[in-house]
Amino acid sequence: MIRSAVETAAAVRAGRLLAVDVVEQSLAAIAAGDGDLNAFNLVTADAARADARAIDEAVAAGRDPGPLAGVPIALKDNLCTRGIPTTCSSRILEGWLPPYDATVVTTLRAAGAISVGKTNLDEFAMGSSTENSAFGPTRNPHDHTRVPGGSSGGSAAAVGAGFVPLSLGSDTGGSIRQPASLCGVVGVKPSYGLVSRYGLVAFASSLDQIGPFAGSVADAALLLEVIAGHDPLDSTSIPDPVRPISTHLNDGVAGLRIGMVEEFMGDGIASDVRARVHAAAEALAAAGAEIGEASVPAAAYGLDAYYVIAPAEASSNLARYDAVRFGLRVDAATTPEMYDLTRTAGFGDEVKRRIMLGTYALSAGYYDAYYGTAQKVRSLIRRDFDLAYEKFDLLLSPASPTTAFAFGDKTSDPLTMYLNDVCTIPTNLAGHPAMSVPFGVGDDGLPIGVQLLGPMMSEPTMFRAAAVLEAGLEGSAGRAVAS
């Protein structure tokens, strides 16, 4: 079992532990286990060691090394890291070196965290299994024949396997929460605008958010507090101060009204998953929460609206991959031919599918029926959530309809894969925060996470309930270590 981020930072700050030793331990675990898992696209061992030495020097000199001092962290490979390849697991960005750091990367460095590498994902964050990566899939640490979930499969697996205590992923339709559930770790999608998107390679701009993976609720809180906050480089960034989370973690849930979302507990959800959600409700009730039945009727149309809006924005966001300024170039006699050859060779099938879908949904004659309609449906979904939040402080649901599935199980038909996100997509559409908390295992012994949802900026409340669930867990289910 690796040391938690909270313990590591405290020990390094106090001089009881050397950052170089912590990093070495992490790098050794990766070297031993990642050959099988393929969680990492790139391990930046030398840079990590150098960063660790700098932290130890700072501590020795009596300077404040930051709240995450010495904590190893893995970064999803769609986060820009200056001078370090950032590929989005796509051929079209293979070897691309960004000339700038994402805001969260700068923030993490200032906080003393030590990045050990870039993790694998579904290409351009489009997928729910990491099988769409151009560099091979990542395996689930609990069962190597199964997927870790997606699109942030690498980041989820890296924490689930105990390589690092913390990692960052991104969530557009569930890409943090679903893999967190499948890998047995904590995964958080913050309120839209709470964490800066500057330097996150865009998939769907109005839905994307960066968020933490961690082995514990307290670790997730620590990381989220570091990366949250207003960024003048992101126009959609919330200017309000971040409400403290860690200091209220153990405030409990007495008197909180928590509703189980009817629309997320239907026939599409496996019975063992539903059972764990009910168990979670009981655990929360035992801790003093009032449990009820909640309904978000328009959420039933979440998939429909999402699979119009997200591809539409993606089709525009991915137009810049044109071989002119960066990335892959397939040479041609003319620029138009260069565009075609490069994009055809550089993008995988799922990316192409979504680009075409999105282009169609925005095109003249179809805009009103598809994109225009979807944006209105989105308003309805948000309205129905807001109505639910008049009756409840938090909502409860599965994070994934099933436990981890086998490779190839859901790749024959796109729609089958899309259904993995039926519980998570509506929150992205609404902009609200949500998190997946490990809560036991399924009939197959594989991890199941339950999802807590809350209104805008309700992270402190959400984390209180998460802490109760974590404390109420029997046994050590959900925290696998690489074997």
Partner 1 sequence: MPERISAAEVASVARLARLTLTDAELETFTTQLGDILEHASQMAALDLSGVEPMGHPYGLVNVMRDDVVAAVVDRDEVLGSAPAAEAGMFRVPPVLGEQP
Partner 2 sequence: MSELPNGWTMVIGLEVHTELLTSTKLFSGAPNHFGGEPNRHIDPTSLGLPGSLPVLNRTAVEMAIRIGLALNSTIQRSVFARKNYFYPDMPKDYQISQYELPIDLGGWLDLPSGERIGITRAHLEEDTGKSSHMGSGGGRIHDAEYTLIDYNRAGVPLLEIVSEPDLRTSAQARAYVSELRSILIAVGASDGKMEEGSMRADVNVSVRQGEDAPFGTRCEIKNVNSIRSLSRAIEYEARRQIDLLEAGERIRQETRHWNEDEGRTITLRSKEEATDYRYFPEPDLVELDPDPVWIEEIRAALPPLPAARRLALAAAAGCTAELSALVVERGLDPLVLAAVEAGGDPGRLVTHAVNNLADAGPDAVTASAFAQLSRLEADGQLTATQAKTVLAEMLSSGDGASEIAARLGYEAMAGGELESLADQLIADHPDDWATFCAGEQKVLGFFVGQAMKRTGGKADGKALSALLMARRG
Q: Is 76 a catalytic residue?
A: yes
For residue 366, the SS3 value is: coil
Q: Which region, judged by CB under 8 A, interacts with partner 2, from 94-102, 182-190, 283-291, 442-450?
A: 94-102
Q: Which does 308 bind (CB under 5 to 8 A by kind): partner 1, partner 2, none?
A: partner 1
Nearby residues of 217 by Cβ (< 8 Å), 6 or more positions away: 186, 249, 437, 463, 466, 467, 470
Find the helix or strand (DSSP H, E) in which 452 lies: strand 447-453
Choose from partner 1, partner 2, none: what does 285 bind? Cβ within 5-8 Å by kind. Answer: none
Applying CB under 8 A, which of residues 193, 199, 212, 449 lies at the interface with partner 1? 193
Looking only at residues 285 through 304 of this chain, which bind partner 1 when binding is defined by CB under 8 A?
298, 301, 303-304
Sequence-separated (6 or more) residues with CB below 8 Å from residue 379: none
Contact 43, 30 (CB under 8 A): yes
Selected catalytic residue, list 4, 151, 246, 315: 151
- The verdict on 197 binding partner 2 (CB under 8 A) reads yes
Q: Which stretch binds partner 1 (CB under 8 A): 11-19, 42-50, 186-194, 258-266?
A: 186-194
Binding partner 1 (rule: CB under 8 A), the pick from 80, 273, 437, 456 is 456
Give whichever of 98 and 259 is closer to partner 1, judged by the CB atom: 98
Lookup result for tokens 């932290």: 55
Pick the closest to residue 209 from 451, 430, 480 (CA basis): 430
Rule CB under 8 A: say whether 367 interacts with partner 1.
no
Is 268 one of the binding residues for partner 1 (CB under 8 A)?
A: no
Helix, strand, coil distribution of the chain in percent, nearest 5: 45, 15, 40
Per-residue CA distances from 482 to 8, 32, 113, 230, 322 (Å): 20, 9, 22, 37, 40
Residue 175 is a catalytic residue = yes
From 134, 99, 471, select the one nearest 286 (Cα to Cα). 471
**Hey, which residues between 131 and 190 contact partner 2 (CB under 8 A)?**
none
Q: With contact defined as beta carbons under 8 Å apart, do 151 and 175 qualify? A: yes
Q: Which residues contact 441 (CB under 8 A, 6 or more apart)?
A: 403, 447, 448, 477, 478
Q: Does 236 bind partner 2 (CB under 8 A)?
A: yes
Nearer to partner 2, 168 or 362 (CB): 362
Determine if 24 is a binding residue for partner 2 (CB under 8 A).
no
**Which tokens belong to 336?**
């138009």
Applying CB under 8 A, does 412 fall inside the site for partner 2?
no
Contact 163, 139 (CB under 8 A): no
Q: Does 235 bind partner 2 (CB under 8 A)?
A: yes
Q: Tell me if residue 410 is catalytic.
A: no
Per CB under 8 A, 408 contacts partner 1: no
Q: Which is nearer to partner 1, 275 or 380 (CB)?
A: 380
Name which of residues 352 to 381 contact partner 2 (CB under 8 A): 359, 362-364, 367, 371
Helices (H), 135-237: 153-160, 177-183, 217-227
Interacting positions 450-469 with partner 2 (CB under 8 A): none
Q: Return the structure tokens found at 273.
A: 């998953």
Candidates 47, 275, 329, 477: give the one binding partner 1 (CB under 8 A): 329
Q: What mask, x for binding partner 1 by CB under 8 A, covers residues 20 to 39?
A: --------------------
Query: Per CB under 8 A, does 99 bind partner 1?
Result: yes
Does the footprint of partner 1 cover residue 355 (CB under 8 A)?
yes
Q: Which of 76, 118, 189, 410 is catalytic?
A: 76
What is the size of the binding site for partner 1 (CB under 8 A)?
75
User: Pick from partner 2, partner 1, none: which does 205 bind, CB < 5 to 8 A by kind?
Assistant: partner 2
For residues 102, 103, 106, 107, the Cα torsion angle rounded to the nearest 10 degrees is -140
Specify the pairing of strand 40-43 against strand 290-294.
unpaired
Whether 109 and 150 have beta carbons less than 8 Å apart is answered as no
438 contacts: CB under 8 Å, gap ≥ 6: 180, 181, 184, 185, 186, 447, 448, 449, 470, 473, 477, 478, 479
Residue 200 binds which of partner 2, partner 1, none (CB < 5-8 A, kind-dependent): partner 2
* Residues at the site binding partner 2, with contacts judged by CB under 8 A: 79-80, 86, 88, 93, 96, 98-100, 102, 197-202, 204-206, 232-236, 312-313, 316, 319-320, 322, 324-326, 335-336, 339, 359, 362-364, 367, 371
Catalytic residues: 76, 151, 175
